[in-house]
Amino acid sequence: SQIGVQFYDQSLGQVPLRVLGNGVPSLKLGDLLGLLKDRLEPGRYEALSSSGAAEEFVSLQRLRDAGIPVRYDAARDQLKFGEE
C-alpha cells in the first residue's frame, strides 16, 4: 500500500508502506528520500541515499534514530515531517 507524506503544510506525494509481522509500519527509504531531498540537512541526503538501507523498508523509529523527525498522523493517515 501507499501512505501520504507531508512536510509542514506541503503535501509531497506518497511512498510504499508495509506493515511488518510485529505490526510496525515501515516505508521504502529511497522513495522517501526522493521526496525529502531538498528538505534534508546538507549531507544527510547523500549519507542516507548512499547507505545500503536506501532500498530497504525502514521503520519510523529508524528514521528518527537517523535524525529525521517523523510522526504518523492517524486522523489523516499520513506521515508528517518537519513538525515537533
* 12-34 tens-digit pLDDT: 999 999 988 888 889 999 999 99
Q: In whole angstroms, give the CA distance from residue 81 to residue 48.
A: 16
pLDDT band for 53, please (50, 70, 90 cuts): confident
- What pLDDT is stored for residue 3 in this prediction? 94
C-alpha cell at 47: 549519507
| 3-state percent breakdown (helix, strand, coil) of the chain, nearest 5 | 30, 35, 30
Q: Which residues lie across from 70 on neighbouring strands?
A: 81
pLDDT band for 83, please (50, 70, 90 cuts): low
